[in-house]
Amino acid sequence: MKKIMIVEDDETISKELQNLLKNSSYEVEVLRDFNHALEKILESKSDLILLDINIPLLNGEALLKEIRKKSNIPVIMVTSRVSEIDEAISISYGADDYITKPYNPTILLLRIQNIFKRIDHKIDTLTYLDLEILPSRGILKRGNDELILTKNEMIIFQYLVNNKGNLVTRDELMTDLWNNNEYINDNALTVNISRLRSKLSFFGYSDKIETRKGCGYILL
Amino acid sequence: MKLGKYIIDKLLLIFIFIVSYFIIFLLLVSFKNSYLLIISITFIYIIMGSLLLFIPYFEKKKFYNELVNYVNLLDKKYLILEMLPKPSFYEGEVLYQALYDINKSMAEAVKMSEDNIEDFKEYIEMWIHEVKIPISSLTLLCHNHKDTLDKSYLEQVKRLDQYIDQVLYYVRSNYTEEDFVIKKVELEKIVSSVLLKNKDDLLAKKIDLFVDLDHIFIYTDSKWLEFILNQIINNSIKYQRKSVKSYIKIFVTDSKDFVTLHLLDNGIGIPKSDLSHVFKKSFTGENGRSSLKSTGMGLYIADKLCKKLGHKIEIESVHKKSTEVRIIFGKNKYYTMD
């Protein structure tokens, strides 16, 4: 389980953020002691830090600079200041991503997931049971059996595989698709899911994508 | 400074001078002086009189002509003292000093007012950052409790956020000189984040999207452009035509000097009579009046931001049929620095 540290001084946000991340099966630690922020962050052995820019005592950008001297742990900067300059500063100090408040929680989760995917080099080597997934070529294969997935089907399938065993909402899938510049509507998503199902049944996995009515899907 | 008017101005002096001459003339005649003396004195009188009249004229003429000339030439007329040489005569000095004092007091008043605006702007920006925090909390709360909370809560929070952004960009478009950074960005990235922001609305209202941006890069401030596009997309959503299958087409055309971004919808369109006013402040028009949510500020701010960024925004519409907004990005060397 990946561990995420929240550096945020607003109580409500950090509490709700904690719930959000826990629901997506991350382990969460909240920084309480801003006096020793750097030490606490390094001690926590987190896999990712959500760092707010407006924190007490030390500004987030300065803290990021300090962290970067000692560690290259992924950092997502979070701020309520909407400005290109602030973003450029954060990125130049070594932030992995930058997101402005108020953010869409689904998009935040997606960004976190993308960072972990990048780090774990999961982009081009993904497997599901005995199936090999080649996203860049859009191919699903087992031995010599190959099937071509469309771009949309591939995006959906990858998302399901990355969250195997967990409930994936339609909103999450939609967000991921739109984030990949595939602006499909609700009907098209349903169609894509059923095509994906029939492609999986080609390999003998016919009932692997379960529908949870009104919620979403689970890949078993 | 005109000679005729100067002489008319000095008529009283000339009159006194002439009267005094006649008194002297009469005195000279009544004391039976020689004609030669009378002629000499008359001659001296005329020369002296002319000198007294014309020396100050030429002295002043130089100063006042320069003053009038510079005032006409200068764009910022209050800078006149920077141009004007110090006068060499007393009246001029008095005027010069008065101008100096007036200028100084005006500069102080302007400075004070500028400081006030700056304070106000800073406060508004700070306030916006503050208010975004509870809005973030609300967004997270809505998301975490979506099983029990109605969707309309989140919609209202989003509306709140949009109105707040409008204030932020209104302040930025009106009261700041250089608050943006022009960078090379992929157009698709900006469009995509705007569409993602409006995903729920677009899906709920069943508006189909056709996006073809051809991996084009442009020079802009991505945050500002995001706001501009958001206003346009919001309008397309707000003024959807219910009787047809709604769509928004977003595409680019690329020419030698420009990249043009087209945002085309098949919404209710804009009446011809309103079309030329849509970028005016607080203009709501026929469509706005029938929808209570219109503030008439969105396109006004979008237009102002475009002007600052050096883009051009155009709108074309067929009433009850379609609306197309075009944003034109110049491929000027000034931006690309090639």
Helix axes A84-92, B222-238, angle to 10 degrees: 130
> Which of A43, A50, A37 shows the shortest CA–CA distance to A5?
A50
* Of A1-5, A82-86, A197-201, B207-211, minimum mean pLDDT range: A82-86
Q: Measured between beta carbons, which residues in chain B are less than 8 angstroms from residue A81?
A: 129
| Partners of A139 in beta bridges | A134, A148
Q: Per-residue DSSP letters for B136-159?
A: HHHHHHHHHTTTTS-HHHHHHHHH
**Under DSSP, is residue B280 helix (H, G, I), strand (E, B) or coil?**
coil
Using DSSP, state whether A164 is helix, strand or coil: coil
CB < 8 Å to B135, chain A: 101-102
Over range A16-35, report the average pLDDT: 91
Other Cβ atoms within 10 Å of B198 Cβ, number: 22
Tell me the nearest-neighbour CA distance from B316 into chain A, angstroms.
25
Pairwise CA distance, residues A27 & A220, whole Å: 22
Q: What's the 3-state SS for B28-78? A: HHHCCCCHHHHHHHHHHHHHHHHHHHHHHHHHHHHHHHHHHHHHHHCCCHH
What pLDDT score was predicted for residue B337? Answer: 53
* Other beta carbons within 10 Å of B53: 15
pLDDT(A44) > 60: yes
At A63, the amino acid letter reads L
Give the pLDDT confidence score for residue A123 in this predicted structure: 57
Looking at the complex, report in whole angstroms how far the Cα of residue B270 sits from the nearest Cα belonging to chain A: 26
pLDDT of residue A36: 87
DSSP lists the bridge partners of residue A140 as A133, A147
The SS3 call for residue B128 is: helix
Tell me how far apart the alpha carbons of residues B215 and B187 are, in angstroms, rounded to a whole number: 7
Paired with A27 in beta bridges are: A3
> Scanning every residue of chain A, which has its alpha carbon at the shortest distance from the alpha carbon of B249?
A183
Considering only the beta carbons, identify the residue of A84, A101, A106 that sits closest to B180. Answer: A84
pLDDT, one tens digit per residue, over A139-159 is: 888 888 889 999 999 999 999
Task: Give dist(CA A6, CA A30) in Å, integer.
Answer: 5
Taking contacts as CB-CB distances below 8 angstroms, the residues of chain A near B144 are: 16, 19-20, 23, 105
Give the per-residue pLDDT at B288.
73
Interface residue of A17, A82, A89 to substitute, partner B, most B CBs within 10 Å: A82
Is the bond preceding A102 in cis, omega lying within 30 degrees of 0? Answer: yes
Residue A57: exposure state from Cβ atoms within 10 A (0-12, 13-18, ≥19): exposed
Contacts 24+ apart (CB under 8 A), A112-116: A112/A4, A112/A21, A112/A26, A112/A48, A112/A76, A113/A162, A115/A48, A115/A74, A115/A76, A116/A2, A116/A47, A116/A48, A116/A74
> Tokens 């002489």, residue?
B7
Residue of chain A with shortest Cα separation from B125: A81
Q: Which helix (H) or strand (E) holds B252?
A: strand B247-254
**Is the Cα torsion angle A10, B147, B164, A85 positive or negative in sign?**
positive
Question: Which neighbouring-strand residues pair with B330?
Answer: B258
B222 interaction partners in chain A (CB closer than 8 Å): 84
**Pick from B250, B170, B185, B245: nearest CA to B212:** B250
Domains of chain A: 3-119 (3.40.50.2300), 126-219 (1.10.10.10)
Mean residue pLDDT across chain A: 89
Query: What does the pLDDT read at residue B282?
Result: 85
Residue A86 in this model has a pLDDT that exceeds 90: no
Chains A, B: CB pairs < 8 Å: 88
B42–A contact, CB cutoff 8 A:
no
pLDDT in the model for residue B177:
67
Q: Listing from the earlier edge strand, what are the strands of the sheet with A3-7? A: A27-30, A3-7, A48-52, A75-79, A97-100
DSSP state of B302: H
Cβ neighbourhood burial of B201 (10 Å; 0-12, 13-18, 19+)? middle
> pLDDT by residue (tens digit) across B12-31?
999 999 999 999 999 989 98
Which residue reads 């979070």 in tokens? A78
Per-residue pLDDT tens over the stretch B267-295:
999 999 999 999 999 888 877 777 656 77
Q: How would you classify the pairing of strands B312-318 and B322-330?
A: antiparallel
Give the CB-side neighbour count of residue B231, counting CA atoms within 13 A. Answer: 31
User: A180: which 2 tokens?
Assistant: 């990949």
The nearest alpha carbon in chain B to A178 belongs to B196
Query: Are B211 and A183 an interchain contact pair (Cβ–Cβ within 8 Å)?
Result: yes
Helix (H) or strand (E) holding A62: helix A60-70
d(CA B70, CA B66): 6
The per-type count for chain A, helices as H runs and strands as E runs, is 8, 12
Structural domains of chain B sorted by starting position, each given as residue range(s) with its CATH number in brackets? 3-85 (no CATH), 180-336 (3.30.565.10)
B320 Cβ neighbours under 8 A, 6+ residues apart? B241, B268, B269
pLDDT at A157: 92
Residues 194-213 of B with CB under 8 A from A: 195-197, 199, 202-203, 206, 208-209, 211
For chain B, which residues score pLDDT lower than 70? 176-178, 291-293, 332-338
Q: Report DSSP letters for A14-59, one per residue.
A: HHHHHHHHHHTT-EEEE---GGGHHHHHHHHT-SEEEEESS-SSS-
Place of tokens 């006068």: B87
The answer to whether A80 and B136 have CB atoms below 8 angstroms apart is yes
* pLDDT at position B334: 59
DSSP designation for B85: P
Tell me the shortest Cα–Cα distance from B262 to chain A, in angstroms: 17
Residue B68: closest CA among B50, B53, B52, B83: B83
